[in-house]
Amino acid sequence: MTTPPTLSRRTALKAGAGSVIAAVSLAGCLGQSHGSLTTHPPSKTLQSHGWQGPHHVDRHVTNTVSLAGVKKKIHAHLKGDWYTRPKTPPKEAQKAGFTAQTLPIPSEFFGAGKVATNPNVSDLLGISNNILEQLFKRIAAQAIPQLEQAGFTNIHKVQDTTLSVTGGNTARYHRYDATYPYQQQTIAQNGTQYTIRSGSLPVELQSALWVANGLLVGAVGIHPNGPGKVSVSADGQTKTFDLGFTPKQDRQTLKQYITQVS
């Protein structure tokens, strides 16, 4: 049996974790800070709604960055957590024996992290009032290639605004549309050979970045951005499954999770 390439749990983890790492560690590197590096995503809410995790990241990074024409060597300590949630196949596909692993159904992803930097991020804000925007540009420069390596194409920004988050803080908030293509594959299912036709599925990525208690905080969410359909052929007949994505609901849910990170 050949499993089709999908935006599976592992792929979502790789792409999303790479985005979180870029979104937070890229800023620079924090070691002398005023707050705790422990990130508090809405874990109980996530787990009660079928999210799998948390998975942890803890890393140190050193970068030289140019801020307002001034080159600074920055040391950062990043800690974060991320979660994934597989999408359930439509009932019609389940009756035929298909699962989230045998159909190219993207998993949802949510991750958040904090970075402590030396120099402290508050001092960096003194160098440039537009540091968050500069950091977001650097984030995109690193995160987009990571997402492309994970299989995403046509990644483009569709929203650039601010977002009110926990603690009365204001985040820079970006939203991206992307496409996740998959190749034609043949699988054996219940004694029948099925051909999953090649196609692509729309995906959305949300990211936010803000400063709280002398720390840089970042969060990323990825979800299918319907409509999404997959065509499957067997015995000379082709069936198209509507994957039943709920992009507006998913967007609002992930955006709410971002605002709850502390």
Q: What is the pLDDT of residues 155-200, one digit of tens each?
A: 899 999 999 999 899 998 999 999 888 888 888 777 788 888 888 8
Confidence of residue 66 (pLDDT cuts 50, 70, 90): low
The bridge status of strand 169-182 relative to strand 199-212 is antiparallel
Q: Is the whole-model pTM more than 0.85?
A: no
Largest Cα separation within the chain, whole Å, is: 67
Residues 184-221 as b/e (b if ≥16 CB within 10 A, e otherwise) read ebebeeeeeebebeebebbbbbbbbbbbbebbbbbbbb
pLDDT at 112 over 80: yes
Q: Where are the beta strands (DSSP E) in the chain?
A: 52-67, 70-85, 108-118, 153-165, 169-182, 185-189, 192-196, 199-212, 215-224, 229-234, 237-242
Q: Which of 62, 57, 194 is nearest to 119 (CA)?
A: 62
Residue type, 48: S
pLDDT at 158: 93
Ranges of each domain in the chain: 9-260
